[in-house]
Every structure is written in structure tokens, then in C-alpha cells.
């Protein structure tokens, strides 16, 4: 589809549909941008994970098998 055909079709739309076309074009442009993630900082999860003191002890559920 050529630019002239697309422009002609766009101009024939009512104003509310023109807004939808503009929103869709903005969506497509934003979708094509790569998302850059920041690397995790060392120590950023400090204090969020806790282990119990008896973590390495055998579970009571397995006493019958030991």
C-alpha cells in the first residue's frame, strides 16, 4: 500500500477513528523500542531472605527412615 493510498484512506476517516489510528501508530512505535533492563546491584536483596538456624537439620517427617 502506497503512502498516497494510505493518506487518502486516513483523510476519509471520521475524527474519532483518526485518533484511534494515531494511538495505534504510537503503540507500534513504542513496541518496536528495545527494553533495556538494568543489571542487579550487589547486595540489593540484603535482609529480604532469611534462613532458620536449623536449616541443615533433618526434618521430623523423616525420623522413621533414619
- The Cα–Cα gap between 41 and 15 comes to 48
Percent of the chain at pLDDT > 90 equals 36
Average pLDDT over residues 26-41: 86
- Greater pLDDT, 3 or 10: 10
Average pLDDT over residues 10-31: 93
Instruction: Kindly state the cell numbers that stand for 10.
Output: 486516513
pLDDT for residue 2 = 81
Residue 5 to residues 9, 10, 30: CA-CA distances in angstroms?
Answer: 6, 9, 24
11 close to 3: Cβ distance less than 8 angstroms: no
- The Cα–Cα gap between 11 and 7 comes to 6
Residue 2 has a CB neighbour count (10 Å cut-off) of 7
User: What are the extents of the domains in the chain?
Assistant: 1-32
Amino acid at each position: 500500500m502506497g503512502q498516497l493510498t494510505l493518506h487518502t484512506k486516513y483523510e476519509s476517516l471520521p475524527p474519532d477513528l483518526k485518533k484511534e489510528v494515531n494511538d495505534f501508530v504510537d503503540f507500534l512505535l513504542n513496541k518496536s523500542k528495545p527494553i533495556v533492563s538494568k543489571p542487579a546491584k550487589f547486595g540489593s536483596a540484603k535482609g529480604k531472605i532469611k534462613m532458620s538456624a536449623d536449616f541443615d537439620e533433618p526434618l521430623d517427617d523423616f525420623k522413621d527412615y533414619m
